[in-house]
Every structure is written in structure tokens, then in C-alpha cells.
Amino acid sequence: GAYVGSRILDITNKKNRVINFFNPYSIFKSKLSNCYVYEPNLVEVKENAHYHPLKKLTDDNQATSIIGKVFQLQSHKDVFPGKVLYLDQPLESDQFKINEKMIFDEICKLVSKKDLWIKLHPRSSKNKYKDFQVIETVLPWELYFLNYDFSKTTIISPVSTAAFSPKLMMGTHSPVVLLPKVIQNQQPSVLEDVRTVTMLN
């Protein structure tokens, strides 16, 4: 979130304000002195802190093999079977004025069903995309990416910053397509909602 304008410690939402009020040890009462991020130069909203680069999770990084053992990752990467991977987002349940079905239907017009795979957002219903190839894993997206070579797969998402995690964290390249302009053109009613427009911008 810090790469696209969010604060690292943010108490603007209701849940975090409640935590901050009732919990004397809340993380939101802390003052950051050091921040460790993969790309310090890309952080848009910087706290009054020192920023340090994290080492990429490549084969020469000792942490990569440790993570592999802890999470029982594959010892070598397979090529991901899909030509396109769609990163789902629960935009409507997050109260954004975006019709997710319209977006997905447009993608289905451009990509054959056999080439399209879906990575469900953790908060999305398991039955959201019936009859489509959905990644079945308990691994977080960032660790799942360590299992496969996605260099021949295009990652498509409405606006998910997770589409850039592989590049930021591992330095790997996969084509990425985000759809905020498509959404604005396809669904002009989104322009009536300030919160949605801010997020798309």
C-alpha cells in the first residue's frame, strides 16, 4: 500500500481507530524509526523514518531457501500452465461502485477459457467463478509465486497491487495489465463515487 499512497500505520479506518482506542499496546501508537521495503525509491508516502531495501527473494538469497523449507515449496519452479492469470478482487463487497462481473465478462471475450486461470482473493467466495480454472492453494500469493515460472503468463487485475509483488519481491518479470481506465470507460457511473474514483486514479 505504501507504494501507491497509503500510510504504513494508518488509523483512518474505523477498525484501526477502535483498536487504537481500546488497546494500550496498539501498533498504531508506535513511531516508526526504520522501514524495510523491497523498493524504497517507489514508496509514495514516506513516514519520518529510515528506509532500507530488502533483498529480493532470489535463489542466491539464503532467506528464499529457508522460506521454501518452512512452507514446503517445490524445489524447482514449474512453468505456470495458464497464459493469463486473473487476480480477483472483492471490490463490490469493499463498497467500491464497480461491477466486477462486467469486468470479468470483458476478459472472457478476449481470452479463451483454457488459457485463463484465476487467483481468488482471500475474502472472495470459493464459488465466485464456477467452471473456471481457479488456483487451489493455502499459500499466500507471494509464496505461491515462488513455486512457478510466470514469465510467459500475463497477470490481469482490476487494480490489485499484488500484480506487482513478483517484480518487487523477486525481481521476476511477468507482463501486468491493470484495468482502471477500462473500468472508467465501461462503467461511467463509477465517476459518481469519489472513493471509487480516488482508488482507480
The pLDDT value recorded for residue 196 is 92
**How far is Cα 179 from Cα 133, in angstroms, rounded to an integer?**
21
pLDDT of residue 73 exceeding 70, the answer is yes
Q: How far is CA 133 from the centre of its chain?
A: 19
Phi, psi at 162, each rounded to 5°: -60, -20
The band of 16, judged by pLDDT with boundaries at 50, 70 and 90, is confident
The pLDDT value recorded for residue 68 is 92
Position with higher pLDDT, 137 vs 27: 137
Within 8 A by CB and 6+ apart from 24, the residues are: none
Q: Is the model's pTM score more than 0.75?
A: yes
**How far is Cα 171 from Cα 167, in angstroms, rounded to an integer?**
4
Strand partners, 133: 117
Please give the C-alpha separations between residue 113 and each of 23, 104, 133, 184, 201, in angstroms, as whole numbers: 49, 12, 8, 25, 30
Mean pLDDT over 145-170 rounds to 91
Is 160:89 a contact under the CB 8 Å cutoff?
yes
Where does residue 173 rank: exposed (0-12), middle (13-18), buried (19+ CB within 10 A)?
exposed
Average pLDDT over the chain, rounded to an integer: 89
What count of Cα atoms within 13 Å lies in the side-chain half-sphere of residue 85?
Answer: 27
* pLDDT tens per residue, range 111-136: 999 999 999 998 898 889 988 999 98
Please report, to the nearest 10 degrees, the dihedral formed by the alpha carbons of residues 12, 26, 140, 51 taken in order. Answer: 80
pLDDT of residue 86 exceeding 80, the answer is yes
Listed range (40-49, 76-85, 131-140) with the worst mean pLDDT: 40-49
* pLDDT tens per residue, range 90-109: 999 889 999 999 999 999 99
In the DSSP assignment, the letter for residue 83 is S
pLDDT of residue 11 exceeding 70, the answer is no
The pLDDT value recorded for residue 26 is 79
The pLDDT value recorded for residue 21 is 81
